[in-house]
Structure 1
């Protein structure tokens, strides 16, 4: 078995049409199970092909040159960028919750453009709120 992770399998229920993910304690449990839709209890499921995760050797982000860091940032892998942020920022005491929020969202695989758009919207809302507050004072 791969580490402590439980095997999971994605299915499409042919009765209710929902996509479902079923988890099993082991590969043996998967083999022995009757795969059932948790929504409608149907056993008429079609297995979907899932993305495969491949473990990469860990990198020492703190020991990277600026060129290597730039390569990670431009590489497009959100999780790798999040790991870089986490490792580089680990030694810096920061009260900036936004930094930690961005790091966590990247580690979860969210795209940087989506995070940037959310932060810009939040900033614009705060500026608008501050202007209204200043105008009423």
Structure 2
């Protein structure tokens, strides 16, 4: 069953319309799903791809900030590392369902407020 995209000449919005068969595309008239107009222009759609079960590809996937922070927290705990004071605030914001953009801002603020690491304490370590 083909799906075609049309741009409405009246309202300018795009509608995706499912037809039962290729022959019905020729026989049936399409209507804008936003305003009901039949004055439509068919668009060239992006190609779709069917993915078989278990197939992995290079597609982007949606990242859940809450799960990401939970995973990072477990990794810090398992490694015995202190992620810093800012991590707690990021974890709270992620648990509250804040957007990734908001979390980025929280991270920037946390980094500004972190004390500067003393690079002089690293000098001489590891080299003899």
Which bracket does the TM-score occupy, shorter chain normalised?
0.3 to 0.5
TM-score, normalised to structure 1, is: 0.42
The structure whose residues are more often helix, as a share, is 1
